[in-house]
């Protein structure tokens, strides 16, 4: 169980992020067209999992825009923004923001992602939502970077993500 904060108040997740050096847990998430995707759909690509409570908040929106600008156009890397938001809301957000390279994914059908990846918030006013975290996997699905953002209202460490995908050193 990770201890994080929401505006300074302690809250907890159901577990821990996948550890660097381990295989990322399996997942089934839903795209905007209501089709489901799994790790197999992204095989052979580096993946940035931008995990957020909701795209309908300022910090979550800012991270999606930043990842779109800095990572979204890399040929060998995909950014997957994962939240509990419905796929329709995710699509509206991306269209309104001009986000075309980040792939929004919802755990509307299968809530195991939050539990298996250690990002489901267990208590406090955001209980049931996903915490703010970033996990980067290499082409084989091995975790090369994992950050549980310690304060929900903080943005993730973008520089560390860029280093993990090989853009910055």
Which residue among 29, 60, 82, 146 is the active-site one?
Answer: 60
pLDDT of residue 168: 57
Token reading at 1: 């169980």
Concerning whether 60 is annotated as a catalytic residue, the answer is yes
pLDDT of residue 169: 45
Token reading at 84: 């509990």
Q: How many residues does the chain have?
A: 169
Which CATH number, 2.30.40.10, 3.40.50.2300, 3.40.30.10, 3.40.109.10, labels domain 3-15+23-162?
3.40.30.10
| pLDDT digit string (tens) for the chain, length 169 residues | 888 889 999 999 998 999 999 999 999 999 999 999 999 999 999 999 999 999 888 787 888 888 888 887 788 899 999 999 999 999 988 888 888 889 999 999 999 999 999 999 999 999 999 999 999 999 999 999 999 999 999 999 999 999 999 875 4
Helix 87-97, helix 58-70: angle, nearest 10: 60
**pTM of the predicted structure, to 2 decimals:** 0.93
CA 124/CA 134 separation, integer angstroms? 21
Residue 71 is classified by DSSP as T
Kindly list the domain boundaries of the chain, sorted by start residue.
Answer: 3-15+23-162
- Give the SS3 label for residue 2: coil
């Amino acid at each position: 169980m990770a201890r994080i904060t929401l505006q300074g108040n302690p809250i907890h997740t159901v577990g821990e992020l996948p550890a660097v050096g381990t295989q990322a847990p399996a997942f089934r998430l839903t795209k905007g067209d209501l089709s489901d995707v799994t790790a197999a759909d992204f095989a052979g690509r580096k993946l940035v999992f931008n995990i957020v409570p909701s795209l309908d908040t300022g910090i979550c929106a800012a991270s999606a825009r930043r990842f779109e600008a800095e990572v979204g156009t890399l040929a060998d890397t995909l950014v997957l923004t994962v939240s509990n938001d419905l796929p329709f809301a995710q699509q509206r957000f991306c269209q309104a923001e001009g986000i075309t390279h980040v792939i929004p994914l919802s755990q509307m059908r299968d809530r195991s992602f939050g539990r298996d990846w250690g990002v489901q918030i267990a208590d406090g006013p955001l209980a049931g939502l996903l915490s703010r975290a970033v996990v980067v996997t290499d082409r084989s699905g091995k975790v090369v970077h994992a950050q549980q953002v310690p304060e929900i209202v903080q943005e993730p460490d973008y520089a560390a993500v860029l280093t993990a995908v090989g853009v910055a050193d």
